[in-house]
Structure 1
């Protein structure tokens, strides 16, 4: 019971594996109706935020007792969980699902994760606590995927080092590739710079003057993608998702670079979006 006399929320511990799977353990569960431990028939219910009524808005995972007295549910990496934010619930029988609170997370296998060679979609699921104290998951499912690594700001430019995953031949895909910056406000404004590669690793440098040269005084956001020389290959968004941090925007921050553009002083800063994609903001100094 909490201080108000209400039942404390049930908590779930999460253990991640390097393939992208999650295992949930509940040790403080309370049966919502009479019955024995052995006839438990519950489910862990994942509900995708903002997708009510769609065909892929809910995933139910069998939740059953294990030998140490806890309940367990598994979300293997092979389960196709669409990208988004998933709220985690527990349900018994026909009862309405109720939210779970976060317990202890063992996410050590996600730190500096290096997926193996494959062309199947890359599954990433990171549990986190919402601002209301509930358990949710951030899910990504991407193929190919361009993982942004070290970003250095130097002499009015950003140097990016990354790695391409989930393509059959990364070196061939990257041969002649470019980094594409496309303005979100005007999709016809596109800038490209060449990419150099060593195997699956890629390197490129984007001069900020390329983005600020025709700036008109309004805020611009430029989204960054890798584009192969093979026109049949779709561009791949740069993102940083292979670790245990669900929201990079406030954690991985970079200083602004101030330039003089034809329209006046301008401030340029790379940042991660709410989806952990890499973009660059161009705007007037504060």
Structure 2
């Protein structure tokens, strides 16, 4: 029995070094055909933001081709892709074909200006092609999270801003105004930094077991905090792919993990009280 997913057009896409994404759809009538990108609304909210791309046949093989340029940047969120065969036709979801994301693998190696814009093609849980986008004034990209028997050490690099001598790392207890500030070790280029946290740094905040601390860096005293996470590669959803180990000391377990938005957080729990953070 055929389903909508079975008949949806299969679309190839490739990302180049400038962040341009080229989409290639099966051959079809080109007159008026467009690619529609829709920012997925939150549950219960109406659709508000769309982007339309013209589709043109490739002279070599007739495939309909559309290009999403790096600018203007997409708003942060998940973007669903549809084919509009003509202005009056019903839009059709797109199934993924080949996704060439090779240039994204080493995306963390270069410095990104402000605003930091990231777009990653990915496959949704129900098997359709979509884009995951982030757009932030600045971003701190984690390179490594190393655990010992007493503490965890995070190495990261700031994009879109520079670190001053009075920069601090801020661990904020989710759902509260409680925060812990740590002094990072700053690289000579004022971009890279390292910080170390252990059970003693997060003790005495109250709230019981299963607390979650979200990680930020404040580039300078009085500056807005910048979220620490891992966005600059080809992984759109990192939480269940990049699983980090935990450390147990002084009766507490600290487990660093990536949230549903690929941001870095630390779950703090009693050693015998497992939880499932978001």
Provide TM-score, normalisation by structure 1. Answer: 0.85
Aligned to 1:197: 186
Shift of 1:5: 8.4
Once the two structures are superposed, residues 58-90 of structure 1 have per-residue CA deviations (whole angstroms, 9 ceiling, x without a partner) of: 111111112121111111111221000111111
Q: Work out whether residues 147 and 246 of structure 2, in 8 Å CA contact, stay in contact via their aligned partners in 1.
A: no
Alignment map for 1:231-270 (pairs within 5 Å): 231=222, 233-260=223-250, 265-270=251-256
Gaps of 5+ in 1: 32-36
Query: Cα RMSD between the aligned structures?
Result: 2.1
Provide TM-score, normalisation by structure 2. Answer: 0.88
Aligned to 1:78: 71
Aligned to 2:54: 62
CA distance in 1, matches of 2:132, 2:50: 14
Alignment map for 1:109-258 (pairs within 5 Å): 109-114=103-108, 119-167=113-161, 170=162, 173-187=163-177, 189-198=178-187, 199=189, 200-231=191-222, 233-258=223-248
Cα distance 1:115–1:90, how it changes in 2: closer, same or farther (>3 A)?
farther
Shift of 1:20: 2.4
CA distance in 2, matches of 1:21, 1:174: 33
Aligned to 1:34: none
- In structure 2, which of residues 251, 255, 269 is the aligned counterpart of residue 283 of structure 1? 269
CA distance in 2, matches of 1:248, 1:158: 19
Q: Work out whether residues 149 and 248 of structure 2, in 8 Å CA contact, stay in contact via their aligned partners in 1.
A: no
* SS in structure 1 at match of 2:255: strand
Once the two structures are superposed, residues 235-283 of structure 1 have per-residue CA deviations (whole angstroms, 9 ceiling, x without a partner) of: 10001011001111011111222233xxxx4322010001100001112
* SS in structure 2 at match of 1:80: coil
Which deviates the most, 113-122 or 197-206?
113-122
